[in-house]
Every structure is written in C-alpha cells, then in structure tokens.
Chain A
Amino acid sequence: MHAIALESERSDRDTTVSWWVLGVAGVAYLAVAVGGGQAPLMGVLGLALILTKLTPARLARGSWTAWLLRVPIFGGIVFLNVVVPDIHYGHGLYSSAVVTAVAELLSAELAVQAWRERPAGGRRGPAILFLSGVVLLLACNTFDYRWLRWLVPLYALMAIPALRSLRMRKTDTGGLSRRAWLARGAALTLALSIGGGTYLSLWAYRAEISRLGRDLLSGWQRRSIGLTGSPRLGDRMSLERSLTRMLRLEGPIETTHLRAASFETYLAGRWLPPLQELELIPTDISELSVTGQHSQVQVTRLVDELAFLPAPLHCAEVRPTRTRQVQRGLRDPGLLRLTMPAPYTYTFAFSNDANHQGPLAPPIDTERRSLCLAVPEGLDGRLYALARTIFAGKQDTREKIAAVIGHLAAHHKYSLNADRMHGDPVVTFLLEGKDGHCEYFASAAVLLLRLGRIPARYTMGFYAHERDGDGMLVRQQDAHAWAEAWVEGTGWVTVEATPGGGLPDQIAQAPSWARRLYEHLHDLILAFGDWWMNLSWLQIGLTFGVIAALVITYLWLREWLARRWAALKVVRRSYTPADESLRPLGARFERWLKRRGFPCPEARPWSEHLELLAREPDALRRVKAEDWESARAFTETYARARFGRSSESLKDLQDRLRRMGG
C-alpha cells in the first residue's frame, strides 16, 4: 500500500526530466555536432536542455506557444541545410544534407519536448529518449565514426539508468496506453541506436579486431599460409608470429626441411613464376612410390588452405591417401599439389642415405640447368667481384657451397625485421652487409651459387623442429626458405644458408598454455569429427537412440522433480489446498490483479486487498469501477466456495473473471 502511494507521489514530483535522460540527449547532440559540423546549433540546444533543470517554467500543453518556437527553428534548419548549399552529396532523401537537416530538426524537437509541460499522468522521458535514439541512429548512418566510437559507449552507459523513465503501466482494459506504447518504442529505438552505434564502432576498429583475432587464434589462414603467390622480399615476414598448426608428423623423424615448392627465376626481389601460374600435371601416385622398406612418417595436414604435400627433398616415397592422383609440378616434380579437406593424412618414407635422390629430386636436364644458372640482366658488377672473392681458390662444388654459407654467416645477421633495402633487395643485402630473414639468405645463396656456376634454386616450405610427443609439429611460423643446389655426381642437395642452424624463427616464442589448451580442444573436435565420419549406419542409429533415451530420461526426471517440489511446497505452506476446480480460478484472479499492477501480498486476503485499493486514487483511476465491483463479487463468491459448505456455481465465477478480462 505504501509502495503504491509512494509510486504515485514520485510520479507527481517528476516535473523535470532526469539528468540521465538529459545526458542521453546530450550525447546524441554531441554526435551530430562532431560529425555534421553543426556545433553552434547543437550547443544552443544543449544549453536549452540544461536550462530546463534550472527553471520550473514550461510551455503549456495544448497551446500554440510551442509552435511559435518550432516554426522559425525548423524553417531555419531546412533553409540552411537544404536550400542554401549548391552542391548536394548523395541522392534525394539519402543526401547528407537531408539527413543532417532531419537530425537537426529532431534535435530541436527534442529540446521543445523538454520544455513542454508534462503530459497528464505521464512523463516526458519516453519522448526524449525516442528522439535521441533516432538522432543517434541518423548520426551513425551519416557522420564520421572516429568520434562516434567514443560517444556510443557513453550513450549506452547513460541510457541504462535513463531506462527508469520508461516504466509504464497498463490501462484498465489490460492493453497498453498510448504513452506505454511510446515508452516501448523509445526503448526499442534506444536499443537500435546503441546497436547501430556499436556496429559502427566495431567497424571503426575492424583492423584491430581482425588482427586480434588472427593473433589469438590464427584463424585467418587463407592469406597467411604463405605458400601462395610468389616470394617477395620485403622488410618484414608476414607470417613470423602465426602459431597456426599446419602439419603434424608422426614417426621416426628429426629436424628436417619439408619442401613445398621451388622457384628458378629471380627478378628484382621476386621469385617467379607465382605458384598459381605453375604448370601442373596429373600424376599417378604409383610414380611417387619408388622404393620398398623405409621408415614411414605419417603426416596430418591440419589446415584446408595448405594445398601442398610438403615432404623432404630426399624422401624415398610420398603416399597420399583417399586418392590415386595428385597434381605435380611440370618443371619442379618435387611440387605435389592436392586439395583435400583437413585433417588430411599422407605418409612419406625416409631414405637412410642423406643424398638419396628420390621421386621428388629427378636429375636436372639442360633446360632446367640453364634456368638454374641464370642471373638477372644488368646485375651490379660489384656482385661479380664479391663472388670472385668468395670462390677464390675453390674448385670443388661442395667447397664453393660451404664458402657461400660461410660468407653469409660471417657478414649478415638474422633478423625478422629486415633493414629496408633500396634497389634490388638481394644485391643491397649482399653488398651492404645488411640484416635479413631466411628469404634474403636463401635468395642471396642462390644468386651467389649461380655466380659460382653451380645450378641452384630457391625453395620454400617448412622447417620441422618442434617436438610434439613422439613426432613433430609444424606451425605457420615455421615457414622457411632455403636453397637447393645441383652437385654433379650426387644430385640435388639442400643448402641452408640462414644462420642459426636453419631455425627460421629463433626469436619466435613458444606457444602459451592457453594456446596449448586451445589446440588440445581443437584436436578433440577433429578427433570427434573423424570418429563421426567413420561411423556405420548402425552405429549412427545407436548413437541417436542413446541421445533420445538421455533426453527422455532428462524430461522424465524434470517432471518428477517438479512434482516432488510441488508436493514439498504444499507441505511447506501447510494449508489444505482448494478444490481442483477452484485453484485455476484463484490463480487467474491473482494474475488479473498482477497485470493491473496491484499484486496481492501472500499474507493478505483478496477482500482486504480490494478494500485497500478502493481507497487508492491510483487504482481507481486505472481500473474501471465496475471491474472493482466484479472483483469484489468474485472474491465473495470464491470465499463462499472455498470456505463454505455450500457448493457455488463455478460457471458464475468463470463468467465474472471473463467479464473482468481476467
């Protein structure tokens, strides 16, 4: 009772709009001001809003004084925004001028609403919040988001306490009054504007967010796989920090270079042709399986985007599963391309001979030899001089290779953040003794070897070095580049010219425990997917049967518990319950009271409650007198049926409830 009285007193005191509502409107003004360049007008309107807190004077409702203000302001806004400018950006209603003008009109209307008299029995809050929501939405739609991304969170923060101004009650008939609809509309607009603003803010931060996502999960794989296009020597390696797992190797394997593709043509910092332009020929996998007994290594390819089958240069065989054919490079037979959804498993076998030439390293022919000896035209003369110095006195190919590796290790340092090169990056790298990453070392080694008349090519792939249980794990950060050289009498050999034993990423960090946990979960999901894919129809049927049984058990248990709980509740209340037929009517009547905003406390009989309400002006105003009369008659009849000996007609009770709208 007191609560009801206080409520009505409070709404009577509500002559000014709350600071929170004004704050919300102020932020909407600010959004128009910073984005649309309408600062002076918005400043004046904001001041008008604040003034409402300082003076109780208001424009009378139903008089023309409000229009006296509106007409010149609105006219001025339209004139300045739409008529005066010569150039309009956008079309018709969507032109920025029109949107700005509408935002300003609504802002002005908002100020007028704040100055108007409070509607009888209602509040000004809903109207103002509604207008501010539309204004912010317009601002989000049109204006610069650099500022909006700060203003929207502020707006949302203020809107939460301002929602108090939207509390409305239902009308006598149980429907919503016009004001209550306005309140709901305002709440919806607030939500929409906050949603729009949030989208805009997220859009403003999209680069940061996507980088964050990539750093956290490395889920953004397509571009960062690194085995697309052609190697281009830049000042940074784009993949240096990605921990995405690419391959899992299981079997007797040590650290090794897993080659994916090689390039022969160097042109101004790029190795050509790009991967997508490489000519590929279908090959039967029997061609890849040459020798018999070797130690097998099973490889699981963990990402879809890696379309290669990386394998060591000297492996004795590569054996793809689930297919008979792979694509093989025409010029580089070591390039094996196969598109399969991850996880995809294939095996390769190691030869025990370090220089064994397997199916991936066929002998060099004349054409390829000339390609592998070619140096770019117009190469800096000092490079020839440098080559001569390095190779001075060296006749043997292996000696020359060692000399190149020794020179690079002596004069260059490894760095992921390479110095910025000018001109041809490799030439600059070599002549000026700069720092660089594996791509520089590999490119430089190839060029120097070619100057020493050794056929060489640039190879990219992965350097497997991270132990994972019994096998190896290859991550994206393990992407690597190195050189391969042709040694007469031996064949192709791997030339690792990058200092540090070939580790491409000595400064890369080990995965964190969180990363490990994520990977573990990912493995579980993969394992589940694998298990699911291999189920027979019978097993699938059984699985669904078990799930259905679990669901049915759960539902039954819930029902049983609910019944037990209901029984406990009855015991706790300790009153003999009313008749089965009466109980739903009582519950309906309680709901009727609740819907009208006057729920009856548990410790008060309905008749007393109705008597109290009969003295409550708020209750009398909002519920029709005849409804109160019906309610009283209902409680009397109900009490007779509930506590008396005589049997009352339930139909009568039901009719009364229906007439009351209960």
Chain B
Amino acid sequence: MHDLNRSAGKRAFAEVLEALEKSLSEVIRGKADALRLVLVGLLADGHILLEDVPGTGKTTLAKALAKSIDGRFARIQFTPDLLPADVTGSTYYNPKEGKFEFRPGPVFTNVLLADEINRTSPRTQSALLEVMSERQVTVDGQRQPMAQPFFVIATQNPSEFHGTYPLPEAQLDRFMLRVSLGHPERAHEVEILFRQQEREPLDAVVPVVSGAEVLELQAEVRKVHVETAVAEYIVALVDALRSDTRLRLGASTRGSLALFRCAQARARIAGRDHAQPEDVRALAVAVLAHRVQLDTKARYGGATGSQVVEDAIAAVPVPR
C-alpha cells in the first residue's frame, strides 16, 4: 500500500482535510455528518445544494467554506428580479477605448455562494446551468472559461415555501450532492448561543487551504481505485430507482457518475485507496435523492425522494 498521507514537499491530504474540517466545525457545531458531505462534494469536484428551512445555518456554512479556501469568493443573493446577465456578466461599450468589453459577472470566481437560489426566476437559474456543468460562460458568442477550482455552493428553502421557484430537474441534476443541516441538538444550540455572545464566529474564519491545494486534493481523489463490483453496485442502485414505480423520473447517468466520484472522495477521506460498497450506501441519499422525481400519487402519498432511495439501498444486494 503506498503512502496515502505524505507527498514530498506538500501538506499531506489528511492534514489539509483536518484543517478544513476544523475551520468549518468552528462555525457549524454538531453537524459533522453534513460537513463531511460538503467536503466530499468539494473533493469530488462537484457543486453542493444546501436545502433546509430558514435559519439552520446554510448560508453560514457556505460562507465558512468559501472563506476557508484561499481564493476568490463571490456571492449572489438570488432575488425574483435578478437577471441572467447579473450572474454571468455582460458586454458593454467602453467609450474610452471605443470598443465593446466583457465585464465578468460574479460567477468568475473560485467559490460561488448562490444564496436562496430558488427565489429567482427559472430563467436566471438556468443561467447557472452552463457555468456549473461546463465551467464556461458564453456571452455574445464569446467563450469565457472559469477559474479553477470552481465550486458552487447553493442554498435553498424547501420548495413548498412562499416565494420560491422550484429548480428545474436539469438544474438539480447539476448539483452533485444535496445536503440538509437540520436543527442542532439542544446542547449544541446552547453552545451556539454562547459562542455568538461576543463576536460572530464567522469573522474568525481565515483561509486554511489554497485553491491549488484543493485542485491537488481533487486530483488525488480521482486516483482512488473502484472495483468493478462496486461500480456495478452503483449501477444496480440507480437501475433500481429507474424501475421504481413511485418515480416519474429515475436518476440519470450523471447521477451514477456523481455517486462514483463521491464514493471515491469518501474513501479517500477515510484514508483508503479504494472505494467500498459502504461508501456508495452512505452517499446514495445525498447524491441521488434530489435527482429523482416522484409521481403525483407517491408524492401525495407522503413519499419522499430520500425514502425511495433508502428503500433501494435496503433492497439491492451488496457485492461481497
């Protein structure tokens, strides 16, 4: 087994990871699992959708993560009157130079916090699509590449809330993971109250990893070995969802890909050089639940995407 945690001259994987985790957990208390998922998404080179009721710390987490990475950080507060150009940027006439110039929008950054993404119109939401999946912006026929790394962390309220536009399926599919924070436990909540007595913990967050280091981490994750049987297990899970009669739409191949990459990331975080079925199972709900569309009957029957995915996990045999 080659040394996983030490590469000459650089900080070890575990060291970087620990620094990131520590930085985030200073701000978000008692949510180790959610933080882990967010890190999985970051290392798997995917975008994350934080979905929960207001006031559970979504924006705080997103900001803490953004601030922990030493790179450019931008934030878009999505509102109903936001236009696509406000996201991607636009071309304007520079009278001094006497020509049209491209003014980059806030997406030209390393970490993009898309706050309350479902409060804007689908048209503006779709503007993010190209950016997220192709990592480029095309304005007036001009192709503008994004910076590396590029990481979108979006927050949204559950779609049933007032003043929300549900994200279209295609948009949802572009988020690698959907993470919910939920209310903290009582002890943690008390702790949060006291920690914010004197100052905002978020102010104390300083960058702990560089953008280059994040890219290295992502490259390492891609090297994690996935046995054929584990990949087959991923496909079997996705396949089970596709044949589930409660679903109008099963998970896409992009979903399988995301699960594959996330399993690699989780295995690497756990210090392994190979992925196991356990990694797949641990991530399946976060990776797949937001990609499936329940049919009307199942939705009114009280079923949820998470529940359908959990059922598939409980039913599909595990490779041994």
A interface residues (Cβ-Cβ under 8 A, vs B): 573-578, 586, 602-608, 639-640, 642-646
Contact = CB atoms under 8 A, between A and B. Distances in A.
B314 interface: yes
The residue in B230, B272, B319 that gathers the most chain A C-beta atoms within 10 A of its C-beta is B319
Contact of B274 (A574, A606, A643): A643
Nearest to A609: B318
Interface stretch (B53-61, B135-143, B221-229): B221-229
Given A602-B317, A603-B315, A605-B318, A645 B278 contact: no
Nearest to B319: A575
Contacts of A573: 317
27 contacts: A574-B236, A575-B232, A575-B317, A576-B227, A576-B229, A586-B320, A602-B318, A603-B315, A603-B316, A603-B318, A604-B318, A605-B277, A605-B278, A605-B281, A605-B320, A608-B281, A640-B274, A642-B227, A642-B229, A642-B319, A642-B320, A643-B229, A643-B275, A643-B276, A644-B225, A644-B272, A644-B274
Given A574-B236, A644-B227, 9 more contacts: A573-B317, A602-B318, A603-B315, A605-B277, A605-B281, A639-B276, A642-B227, A643-B230, A643-B277
A578 B227 CA distance: 10
Contacts of A586: 320
Interface string B207-242: 000000000000000000101111011001000000
A645 B225 contact: yes
Interface string B270-289: 00111111100100000000
B117 to A, nearest CB: 34
A643 B227 contact: yes
A575 B280 CA distance: 15
A606 to B, nearest CB: 7
B38 to A, nearest CB: 23
Q: Which 7 residue pairs spanning A and B have beta carbons closest together?
A: A644-B274, A575-B319, A602-B317, A576-B228, A643-B227, A575-B229, A576-B229
Interface residues of B, number: 25
A611 B274 CA distance: 21
B39 interface: no
Contacts of B320: 578, 586, 605-606, 642
A445 B278 CA distance: 102
Nearest to A607: B278
B1 interface: yes
A639 B230 CA distance: 11
B240 to A, nearest CB: 10
B309 to A, nearest CB: 13
Given A573-B317, A605-B281, A605-B318, A645 B233 contact: no
Contacts of A605: 276-278, 281, 318, 320
A586 B318 CA distance: 13
A645 B225 CA distance: 7
B128 interface: no
A577 B1 CA distance: 23
Interface in B248-293: 272-278, 281
A644 B272 CA distance: 9
Nearest to B236: A574
Nearest to A648: B1
A608 B278 CA distance: 8
A577 B228 CA distance: 9
A576 B281 contact: no
A14 B233 CA distance: 43
Contacts of A602: 317-318
Contacts of B314: 603
Nearest to B278: A605
B313 interface: yes
Contacts of B318: 602-605
A536 B228 CA distance: 64
Contacts, number: 63
Nearest to B312: A603
A425 B187 CA distance: 112
Contacts of B281: 605, 608
A645 B229 contact: no
A603 B317 contact: yes
A154 to B, nearest CB: 45
Nearest to A587: B320
B317 A646 contact: no
B316 A645 contact: no
B225 A575 contact: no
Contacts of B313: 603
A586 B317 CA distance: 15
B70 to A, nearest CB: 33
Contacts of B229: 575-578, 642-643
Contacts of B316: 603
A577 B236 CA distance: 15
Nearest to B233: A575
A586 B228 CA distance: 18
A61 to B, nearest CB: 42
Nearest to A644: B274
Contacts of A646: 1, 273
Contacts of B278: 605, 607-608, 639
Nearest to B280: A605
A645 B232 contact: no
Nearest to A646: B1
A573 B236 CA distance: 9
Interface string B288-320: 000000000000000000000000011111111
A116 B120 CA distance: 74
Nearest to B317: A602
A168 to B, nearest CB: 29
Contacts of A640: 274
Contacts of A644: 225, 227, 272-274
Contacts of A606: 320
A608 B1 CA distance: 25
A602 B315 CA distance: 8
B267 to A, nearest CB: 9
A578 B318 CA distance: 12
A575 B317 CA distance: 9
A576 B318 CA distance: 11
Contacts of A577: 229
Contacts of A575: 229, 232-233, 236, 317, 319
Contacts of B274: 640, 643-645
B3 to A, nearest CB: 12
Contacts of B319: 575-576, 578, 642
B310 to A, nearest CB: 11
Contacts of A607: 278
A533 to B, nearest CB: 59
Contacts of A576: 227-229, 232, 319
B200 to A, nearest CB: 38
A643 B320 CA distance: 9
Contacts of B317: 573, 575, 602-603
A578 B272 CA distance: 19
Interface string B1-22: 1000000000000000000000
Nearest to B231: A576
A211 B281 CA distance: 70
A605 B230 CA distance: 12
The residue in B225, B276, B317, B320 that gathers the most chain A C-beta atoms within 10 A of its C-beta is B320
Contacts of B225: 643-645
